[in-house]
Chains A and B, each alone.
Chain A
Amino acid sequence: MNFAVLWVHNFSLVAVQRSEPALGGRPVALITGEGRKAVVTQASPEALQVTPGLAVPLATARCPGLQLREPDFAAEMEAQQFLLAAAFALSPRVECTARGCCTVDLQGADLARTEAEMHRQILELRQLGLPVRIGAGETPLLARYAAQRAESVLIVRERADFLRPLPIEFAQPTPQQAAVLQGWGIKTLGQLTALPKADVGSRLGPDGVALWERANGEAPAVLKLTMPSRSFAAEWNYEPPVESIEPLLFKLRRFAERITFELRSAGLVAETFSLTLLLEDETEYYRQFRLPEPGANVDSWLRVLQTHLDTVRLSERVAGVRFVAKPARPEQRQDGLFDTGLTDPCSFWENLARLSALVGDDRVGTPVLLDSHAPDAFRLERPAATVPAPELPPVHPPRGGMLRRFRPALPARVICTDAGLVALEGAVRGDIRASLGPHILRGDWWKPGTWAVETWQVELTGGGLYQLTRDAEGWWIDGVLD
């Protein structure tokens, strides 16, 4: 197989159905023309007895409840982008042949791998509401015939055997040619190609020769190549403008589906994306989002967008939306054998972002000790994606109490005698049975903000160990010792 064609049957209708999920499972027909001249051009399988070319009044009479729509150019462009992205996943040499049809030059490709990729692309596109079929063969035309005959993927290995039974309509004869061929009793491509090409040419002229060549699956093999998209953007204008979040999210989901698909096909991810809302008064609301973990996951993107949009209040209605993703190469890293990695990085960073939204950025993270003897000296850092292997245990095993702090420390009154600390009063009270201290700490004396504390550890008669500190303002209960 040298060429492949990705083809969508009733493409315009499928594009409209994708943009209007409410049409799913209902009889739908695309129409063209106005008034009494309007005719059906494409009809869904649910629209029984409605065929292309049927006048609209007749179609509605035959199929009550038939939904009539006009072709939606924007929806078709959106769907075409999916096809192109899938085509570029197969080969860099792609022609955007027609709406709902892309031709791919597969010469030099690893055929086994390409065939597997075709099946993967079909599966993914069908999940996105685009029932694509792929055909492959020696020539672009043969690949197109195969795509039109395929259920999912059809690869033509024997040209003559494949073409022989195909209806003559595949070669697209003109009405005059069709009438002549009908008169000759020719109904299939095989019957036409069984005639000598020169004889057909002498009777039907040069157009007849072209028809014979089409019937034989021959066509120019030169493709008008399309460049892959370098921007990952989408835009939509609402008519009329919208006031609620639902239509925005619906459209953003469509954008996200398409752009993530394009990114994945190109082997990329997004590290940031931006949202621009075009308001009715011709102003713009712009917001850029940095993803917790670069990726191309629709649900992750939408969670970020929805969380933000839930908090946005605008004075004007939204007349349009623009969505742009900034692509990046996926991070490639290999963890050390004894490192602690993440089983699900996406949910890890996403949940951290959610926690930050709940409690604040400065209250979530991995604690890091500061190089200071000041009490409670630490800072919170963003957790590491990979935690290095544990260090060796210390030579001298740690001793002492484990403090559980009261933040802020509780003010206290301590009764002292010559024998030492006797009683504690305050939020915690009791006679002091034993005490350790004072441990005097002082630091930062060489700069403003010097600190000095006197620390005691006490055991109360009724049970319980506490850490007390004394500074210039008095006594404080730091916390419980475990």
Chain B
Amino acid sequence: MPKPTTIAALRSLVAAWTPAPVARSTDGVATGVPAIDGALGGGLPRGRVTELVSAVPGSGGELVFEALLESTRAARLRVALIDAADGFAPKNHRANLLRHLVWVRARSLPEALGCADVLVRDGNYAVMVLDVRGVPARVLRQQSSGVWHRLRLAAEQNPGAVLVQSAAGFFPAVPWRLVLRTSAHLGELRRTRAERAVALAVEVERGHADTREELAG
């Protein structure tokens, strides 16, 4: 086989080797947080990885997760949570919001990634959440980029949406990266969670509405 001499030839060669993503509808899974659903054009895109960065403690990552639980429960969808730092607290939530959730309490990042590799291919879940908050940045950096690439490719071959919750943007080549930068104040805890979720401010660090259409082909 002749060696590619141009970038275009190299791209076409890579495209020939890489299986094309499965064609799927572009509808998303609504998170129930208006700022996020608005930024993503309707919700977490299916067959894609979306990274949600909680840049500061108390910026609302858990609030988003509860809204997602509420929204998927109403839509009769299932959610899987792979908790790399075992930080999820069920007592935060009403019992009714936990019934469609499968929670995997990993002991380490490699264990969590092993579980993600299994669940991302399971078509029963509308959303798989990989929560790596609490995993030291050093440990995340030690992971080969191939691991994340593999996860992204697997997500593209399957119908569920993948949400990665992190404390600092790290996921390479992620189509969407949203950042929560504002830390809540103690006084805000008196407001209802729904009100706080509506008021969440989200910054789109990577991806935009057009990206969605490009990805859908």
Contact = CB atoms under 8 A, between A and B. Distances in A.
A404 B61 contact: yes
B138 interface: no
B194 interface: yes
B62 A359 contact: no
Contacts of A355: 104, 115, 118-119
Nearest to A480: B57
Contact of B122 (A339, A348, A481): A348
Contact of B118 (A351, A398, A457, A458): A351
Contact of B91 (A352, A354, A377): A377
A459 interface: yes
Interface string B90-107: 111011101111111111
Contacts of B101: 366-367
Given A343-B123, A403-B62, A358 B98 contact: no
Interface residues of A, number: 60
Given A405-B89, A464-B58, A464-B183, A352 B102 contact: yes
Interface stretch (A150-158, A241-249, A319-327, A387-395): A387-395
B212 interface: no
A466 B114 CA distance: 31
A347 B57 contact: no
A222 interface: no
Nearest to A401: B189
Contacts of A347: 121-124
Nearest to B87: A404
A250 interface: no
Contact of B103 (A340, A366, A399, A434): A366
Nearest to A433: B186
Interface string A393-434: 010011111111111000000000000000000000000011
Contact of B74 (A339, A390, A457): A390
A1 B77 CA distance: 50
A141 B191 CA distance: 85
A365 interface: yes
A348 to B, nearest CB: 5
Interface in B102-158: 102-107, 111, 114-115, 118-119, 121-124, 133-134
A304 to B, nearest CB: 15
B91 A358 contact: no
B66 to A, nearest CB: 6
A375 B90 CA distance: 10
B170 interface: no
A459 B192 contact: no
B91 A384 contact: no
Contacts of B58: 401, 463-465, 480-482
A343 B115 CA distance: 20
Contacts of B46: none
Nearest to A354: B118
Given A347-B124, A369-B98, A482 B91 contact: no
Contact of A482 (B61, B96, B104): B61
Interface string B52-66: 001011111111011
Given A348-B124, A434-B186, A481-B189, A402 B92 contact: yes
A465 B186 contact: yes
Given A340-B76, A364-B105, A366-B98, A375 B91 contact: yes
Contacts of B3: none
B103 to A, nearest CB: 5
B193 interface: yes
A365 B105 CA distance: 9
A344 interface: yes
Contacts of B189: 399-401, 436, 457, 465, 481
A378 B91 contact: yes
B102 A368 contact: no
B90 A378 contact: yes
A399 B193 contact: yes
Nearest to A481: B58
A358 B118 contact: yes
Contacts of A480: 57-58
7 closest A-B pairs by beta carbon, nearest first, are: A402-B62, A482-B62, A464-B57, A367-B90, A465-B58, A397-B192, A363-B105
Given A340-B100, A355-B104, A482-B184, 4 more contacts: A347-B122, A347-B124, A359-B105, A404-B87
24 contacts: A348-B122, A351-B118, A351-B122, A355-B104, A358-B115, A359-B105, A364-B102, A369-B98, A394-B94, A397-B194, A402-B66, A402-B92, A403-B91, A405-B86, A457-B189, A459-B185, A463-B58, A464-B58, A465-B183, A465-B184, A465-B185, A466-B57, A481-B58, A482-B184
